[in-house]
Amino acid sequence: MLENLNVQQRLAVETTDGPLLVLSGAGTGKTRVLTTRIAYILDMGLAMPWQILALTFTNKAANEMKNRLGQMGGGAWSAADIWCGTFHSVCLRILRYNCERAGLRRDFLVYGEDDQKAVLKTIFAEMGLDPKEYNPATWVEKISGIKDKGLDAATHLGGRMGEIYDAYNAELARLNAVDFGDIILKVLELFDTAPDILEQYQRQFHYILVDEFQDTNGAQMQFLTMLTPAGGAQNICCVGDDDQSIYSWRGAEIKHILNFDKTYENAQIIRLETNYRSSANILGAANSLIRHNAGRLGKDLHPAPGVDAGDPVYVLTVPTDWDEARAIADTIGRNADNKYSDFAVLIRAGSLSRLFEEEFTSRGIPYRLIGATKFYDRMEIRDAIAYLRLLVHPFDDLSFLRVIAKPRRGFGPSAIAKIRGYGANLMVGLRAAPLAGKQRAAADEFLAAFDFDWDAMRPADAAQTLLEKSGYIKMWRDAKDADAPERIENVKELITNVISKYDTMAEFLEHAALMMTDDNDTETAGDTNAVSIMTIHAAKGLEFNTVFLPAWEDGIFPNEMAINEGALEEERRLAYVAVTRGRVRAVISNAMSRMVFGERKYNAPSRFIAEMDPQFLTFQGVGMGAMRSLRTRGIEQSYGNAPRPRPAPVRSENLVGKLVLHTEMGRGVIIESDGDILTIAFRDKGIKKVAKQFVQISK
Ligand code: ATP
Ligand code: MG
């Protein structure tokens, strides 16, 4: 086991006692070290499987780790007993075990973004706030932002913010629900108020391991520090790369990795410097790019010994976005003897996937889409889950409201208001309310659909039964919409491929709740032979033989907001993550013209292209003739003599004079800008200093 590691990696595996940070660049074997370390701890008999807590970034990564460990154990221990999962799945487990102490009922629900918005809408209506000014989506973000910071963040809110925050949480409590942020926050509160429970977990987890540590947020960091008190063993091993921190928009804080040795005084830090993933050219290009970031620890990263330079990193400039999709599909087609799963198209934003989907579909290239349109975001999947939630939790009024109208049963707002008065929840109310004629019949039919012995059935069969009996599937069968057949297919896939894997409906619903909030997780097994089209965020930690990196254009990557706000370093880290996913070949491309949300745009090539050292690159494409050569010869054989694309001149950030909108203070104009603090002259409220994140700035 240890023979597959280099000296530094071995040291990281064998340094089991005390706090350890493995800080190193992409592809240096951090994840491999983590997995081997767990096996080592178990083989040496240092802990039982359930005394190990391993935190990964996605549920998929957790499954892969467990699978790999399952093969390593040789039967001596069971990988299934390791506490391995995301922060959210682990904390949810802790909450379930201790729900009463955490102030929750046993059958509490986990709300996704849709549910959160619905709750906020009700609250705004109750508080008499204008829905035009109070956008639920914006407020979901604000509230999550507070919860992601951990305990204490909400203590001094005050004002409108505080009112809404409190009302929102009170409504969740009334509905017996928690939101995504609560999953961790409630565990922190539990640990805070119930020291005996905290101590129990401190005692249970002898070893804690964290992958992708650079992307932990405040709440998650607090969870870790509470479990590893000073004076205790503090056997915590975190692995990460400050250059790959790409989730600050979700509350991740790079300072946790930078301050690790302050948080843990006798921390050891091990650096891994050999990259085993990428060709020397890919690595060289990536290194030369990330060097442009000022705020980094700085590391040396070398290719593995004996690795050759490999292909240069290809940079294609093509006339249109369509040419780009064709060139990429051509290249995949040309290398069809490779496995399709060797290829990935990594996109900056989900909206870029469509042309690739069309091009691949028309050529019969199998693909899977990850992180862009979430399976769990589809209307029919949400509907089906709402039905199942209501089946298991009859008190779930939000789900009731969603499904009572699917198919239509003649219950409009006034009927609902009436029902509300007849019971603690809408299901009870519907049964008890004095309804007449058709309405009573419709109500009884609806209630009857839920009235069967689902608990004694396999969850997949119960789901099938409910969705048939309730008329939901029939609704789509009868629908004339062009996409109705696809929706039925999706529901079928949910039942046969997902729900069927669970032993109880409650377990499935728990899983669904986690998946619904994490757009970067994926269900599909990694071994399907298909090209992956995924966002760069979703590709973190993964690797592919060939990566295509389209739309490297100013305004897209880096995106408009990052350029305007001078927030380029995180975009550059994202670009670094993208390039370093490639093992053998990386193909960067930019189109001179592209349709963006229905408008033709003429973007300059990304400044990131110009930042990379040209010795690792070759430039191709540009005109129609070049496109023909590309199509007939393929990227590898084409002439690499196109001029190096020149990026647009760098615009300096000048916010002064721009108009802004603030949810509480209304409209105003920026008169001074100092980093994140803006001085704004508000039309009604005078001159105020406001943090940039709280205002919308017009273009
Ligand atoms: P990232 O920063 O992208 O998450 P990482 O540091 O976690 O990368 P791994 O994914 O663990 O890196 O490893 C990258 C690749 O290198 C994997 O294919 C892994 O199997 C391989 N690898 C790691 N260490 C070695 C080694 N000592 N010898 C050979 N191959 C190795
Ligand atoms: Mg990794």
Q: What is the pLDDT of residue 295?
A: 76
pLDDT at 520 > cutoff 70 = no
pLDDT, position 112: 82
147 lines ligand 1 (CB under 6 A): no
Q: Give pLDDT tens digits for 279-306.
A: 999 999 999 999 998 878 878 789 998 8
Closest to 211 in 3D by CA, of 43, 346, 38: 38
Q: What is the pLDDT of residue 688?
A: 85
Instruction: Check: CB of residue 65 under 8 Å from CB of residue 36.
Output: no
Q: Kindly state the average pLDDT of the residues 78-104.
A: 93
pLDDT category of residue 383 using cuts at 50, 70 and 90: very high
| Nearest CA owner, ligand 1 atom 26 | 5
Of 9, 31, 86, 222, the catalytic one is 31
Mutation to probe ligand 1, out of 212, 213, 242, 276 (largest number of atoms < 8 A from CB):
276
Which protein residue's CA is at the shortest distance from atom 19 of ligand 1? 29
499, two tokens: 């729900």
Binding site membership of 335 for ligand 1 (Cβ less than 6 Å): no
* 620 given a catalytic annotation: no
Residue among 11, 56, 277, 342 whose CB has most ligand 1 atoms within 8 A, to mutate: 277
d(CA 182, CA 187) in angstroms, rounded, equals 8
Q: Establish whether 211 is a catalytic residue.
A: yes
Measured by CA distance, the residue closest to atom 4 of ligand 1 is 541
Instruction: Give Dmax (Cα) for the chain.
Output: 82
Residue 527 has pLDDT above 80, yes or no: no
| Ion ligand 2: residue ranges with CB closer than 5 A | 30-31, 541
| Pick from 82, 324, 80: nearest CA to 208 | 82
Supply the pLDDT for residue 542. 93
Q: Is there a catalytic annotation at residue 202?
A: no
pLDDT band at 385; cut points 50, 70, 90: very high
**What is the CA 333 to chain-centroid distance, rounded?**
30
Per-residue model confidence (pLDDT) at position 57: 86
Residue recorded with tokens 């009868």: 478
* Mean pLDDT for all residues in the chain: 88
pLDDT digits (tens, 9 = 90+) for 216-239: 999 999 999 999 999 999 999 999
Pocket test for ligand 1, best of 4, 31, 273 (most atoms within 8 A of CB): 31
Contact predicate 332/343, CB 8 Å: yes
Is 30 among the catalytic positions?
Answer: yes
Q: For the CA atoms of 507, 513, 515, 517, what is the dihedral angle to 10 degrees?
A: -160
Pick from 335-344, 347-356, 371-380, 426-435: least confident = 371-380
Among all bound ligands, the one having the nearest atom to the CA of 32 is 1
| Residue type, position 138, single letter | T
Q: How much is the average pLDDT of 246-259?
A: 84
Distance of CA 173 to the CA centre of its chain: 26
Cβ contact 669:660 at 8 Å: yes
% residues pLDDT > 70 (the chain): 96
Of the ranges 229-233, 312-316, 349-353, 533-537, which one carries the lowest mean pLDDT score? Answer: 349-353
Is pLDDT larger for residue 501 or for residue 28?
28
**204: Cα within 13 Å, side-chain hemisphere:** 15
Which of the residue ranges 87-91, 365-369, 634-638, 650-654 has the most confident prediction, judged by mean pLDDT?
Answer: 87-91
| Number of the ligand 1 atom closest to the C-alpha atom of 25 | 2
CB neighbours of residue 451 within 10 Å: 9
pLDDT recorded at residue 27:
95
Name the active-site residue from 58, 244, 580, 663: 244
Beta bridge partners of 559: 555, 556
Count, in order, helices (H) and strands (E) of the chain. Answer: 29, 23
Q: Give nearest CA residue, ligand 1 atom 14.
A: 27
Residue 175 makes CB contacts below 8 A (sequence gap 6+) with 109, 119, 395, 396, 397, 398
631 CA from centroid of ligand 2 (Å): 35
Tens-place pLDDT, residues 564-577: 877 899 999 999 99
Report the separation in Å between the CA atom of 276 and the middle of ligand 1, taken as the mean of its atom positions: 6
Q: Computed from CA positions of residues 58, 52, 152, 692, in that sequence, does the dihedral angle turn out positive or negative? A: negative
**Whether residue 240 has its Cβ less than 6 Å from ligand 1:** no
**pLDDT average, residue stretch 381-388:** 93
Residue nearest to atom 27 of ligand 1 (CA): 5
For tokens 């032979």, the residue is 529
Asked if residue 59 has its Cβ within 6 Å of ligand 1, the reply is no
- Judged against a pLDDT cut of 90, whether residue 210 lies above it is answered with yes
Average pLDDT on 98-120 reads 88
Give residue 649's pLDDT: 63
Q: How confident is the model at residue 525 (pLDDT cuts 50, 70, 90)?
A: very low
Active site residue 244: yes
Mean per-residue pLDDT, 554-564: 90
Q: Separation of 275 CA from ligand 2 center, angstroms?
A: 12
212 is catalytic: yes
Top-confidence range, 554-568, 575-589, 627-641, 664-678: 575-589
Question: Other C-beta atoms within 10 Å of 626: how many?
Answer: 19
Of all atoms in ligand 1, which is nearest to the CA of residue 541? 4
More confident residue, 54 or 638: 54
Measured from the alpha carbon of residue 33, the closest ligand is: 1
- pLDDT(247) > 80: yes
Cβ-contact 188, 222 below 8 angstroms: yes
**45: burial class by Cβ within 10 Å (0-12, 13-18, 19+)?**
exposed
Q: What are phi and psi of 378, to 5 degrees?
A: -70, 140
Specify the amino acid at residue 355.
L
The arrangement of strands across the sheet holding 20-24 comes to: 83-85, 52-55, 207-210, 236-240, 20-24, 268-272
If you ran DSSP here, which 8-state letter would residue 394 be given? Answer: T
Strand 531-535, strand 313-320: pairing: unpaired
Is 166's pLDDT higher than 90? yes
Give the residue-averaged pLDDT of 534-538. 91
Q: Average pLDDT, stretch 594-599?
A: 83
Q: Is the CB of 463 under 6 A from ligand 1?
A: no
In this predicted structure, the answer to whether residue 600 has a pLDDT above a threshold of 80 is: yes
pLDDT at 494: 87
CA–centroid distance, 432 to ligand 2, in Å, is 56
Q: Is 31 in the pocket of ligand 1 (CB under 6 A)?
A: yes
257: tokens are 């990795």
Q: Which atom of ligand 1 is nearest to the CA of 28?
A: 6
Q: What is the pLDDT of residue 336?
A: 74
Average pLDDT over every residue of 585-592: 95
* 303 pocket-lining for ligand 1 (C-beta < 6 Å): no
Whether 243 is in the pocket of ligand 1, judged by its Cβ within 6 Å, is no
Mutate to test the pocket of ligand 1, among 11, 23, 32, 57 (most ligand atoms within 8 A of CB): 32
In terms of Cα–Cα distance, which of 608, 517, 520 is closest to 558?
Answer: 608
Q: Are 97 and 187 in contact (CB under 8 A)?
A: no
For the Cβ of 8 lying below 6 angstroms from any atom of ligand 1, the answer is no
Structure token pair of residue 103: 């102030």
CA dist 182 and 172 (Å) reads 10
Q: What is the mean pLDDT of residues 475-491?
A: 85
DSSP readout, 287-345? HHHHTT-SSS-----EEPTT----SPEEEEEEEEHHHHHHHHHHHHHHTTTS-GGGEEE
Full-model pTM: 0.82
Q: How many angstroms separate the alpha carbon of residue 371 from the centre of ligand 2?
A: 18
